[in-house]
């Protein structure tokens, strides 16, 4: 339901922040909201889109804090803290994408996702990912882009999963440092909370580990997969010794 309405407390819970933080963001004209009949309402699709853009642009310290909060909120529904081994399979990694332009990257990544047979309507997904990139590029510094649809649709995918592509040559993709991009994740999450948390985790891994270098130089998909799981382990909270 793209226009489902949320109240202040529901938005705070969804974003893993305090209600006062949402009120501050409203005063700063940052978070999207509407006044209707004396009530303040938020549209879930607008909040999800805003949160996705904000997570990608957070500095490392704030990204780390957000990731920790969202992990605490999700733990009751997760079998383990590590997510990537559940969301990504080696077979869903392509290290030789022929894409040379932004449109062709998006098409090739959606095609890679469609090969999993878990995308119900690849054309609709393509249009939504294109719309998201037109809104604001998902590329971050270091040669990585975190592709995803503009609006979350609960029944777009069968379960939640990721695909990872590496282009043969770097592609201009609107990164904030002006450099081209050659590593691309496409997030295909059925659950919007998993989507936001996975987005934060991938951004955090890219910021705090050497995984991007490992992925750029990996000779095989097995090598790339192992490097990614090792990088995820680096950023997860360490459990106290028995």
CATH fold for the domain made of 5-57: Multidrug-efflux Transporter Regulator; Chain: A; Domain 2 (1.10.1660)
Interatomic CA distance for residues 187 and 195, integer angstroms: 7
Q: How many CA atoms lie within 13 A of 119 on its CB side?
A: 23
pLDDT at 1: 40
Averaged pLDDT score across all residues of the chain:
90
Q: In what order do the strands lie in the sheet with 5-6?
A: 5-6, 39-43, 34-36
Q: Are 181 and 109 in contact (CB under 8 A)?
A: no
CA angle 112, 192, 93 (to 5 degrees): 20
pLDDT at 86: 94
Q: Are 146 and 187 in contact (CB under 8 A)?
A: yes
- Higher pLDDT pick, 27 / 148: 148
Q: Any alpha helices (H) in 75-161, and if so which ranges?
A: 84-87, 102-114, 122-135
Spell 189-214 as b/e; 16+ CB within 10 A means b. bbbbbbbbbbbbbbbbbbbebebbeb
Q: Are 147 and 109 in contact (CB under 8 A)?
A: yes
Q: Are 195 and 153 in contact (CB under 8 A)?
A: no
Query: In the structure encoding, which two tokens stand for residue 97, read together?
Result: 């994408």
Residue 3 has pLDDT above 70, yes or no: no
Percentage, residues of the chain above pLDDT 70? 97
Domain map of the chain by residue range?
Answer: 5-57, 78-235
Between the ranges 13-22, 44-53, 96-105, 144-153, where is the mean pLDDT highest?
A: 96-105
Say how many Å lie between the first and final Cα of the chain, rounded: 45
Lowest mean pLDDT among 13-27, 108-122, 177-191, 222-236: 13-27
Under 8 Å CB-to-CB from 148, ≥6 apart: which residues? 52, 129, 132, 138, 186, 187, 188, 189, 195, 199
What would be the CATH architecture of the domain defined by 78-235?
Answer: 3-Layer(aba) Sandwich (3.40)
Whose CA is closest to 94, among 104, 109, 84, 83?
Answer: 109
Whether the full predicted model's pTM is greater than 0.75, yes or no, is: yes
């Amino acid at each position: 339901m793209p226009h489902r309405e949320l109240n202040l407390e529901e938005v705070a819970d969804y974003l893993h922040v305090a209600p006062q933080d949402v009120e501050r963001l409203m005063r700063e004209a940052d978070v999207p909201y509407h006044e209707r009949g004396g009530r303040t309402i938020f549209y879930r699709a607008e909040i999800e889109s805003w949160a996705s853009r904000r997570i990608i642009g957070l500095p490392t310290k704030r990204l780390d804090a957000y990731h920790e909060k969202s992990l605490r909120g999700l733990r009751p529904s997760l079998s383990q803290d590590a997510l990537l081994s559940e969301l990504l399979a080696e077979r869903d990694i392509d290290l030789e994408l022929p894409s040379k332009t932004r449109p062709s990257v998006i098409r090739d990544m959606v095609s890679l996702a469609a090969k999993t047979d878990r995308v119900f309507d690849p054309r609709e997904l393509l249009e939504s990912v294109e719309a998201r990139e037109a809104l604001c590029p998902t590329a971050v510094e270091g040669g990585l882009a975190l592709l995803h649809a503009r609006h979350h649709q609960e029944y777009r995918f069968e379960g939640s999963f990721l695909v990872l592509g590496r282009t043969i040559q770097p592609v201009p993709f609107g990164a904030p440092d002006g450099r081209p991009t050659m590593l691309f994740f496409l997030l295909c999450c059925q659950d919007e909370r998993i989507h936001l948390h996975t987005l934060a985790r991938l951004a955090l891994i890219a910021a705090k580990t050497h995984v991007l270098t490992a992925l750029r130089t990996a000779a095989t998909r097995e090598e790339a997969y192992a490097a990614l799981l090792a990088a995820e382990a680096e950023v997860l909270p360490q459990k106290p010794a028995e």
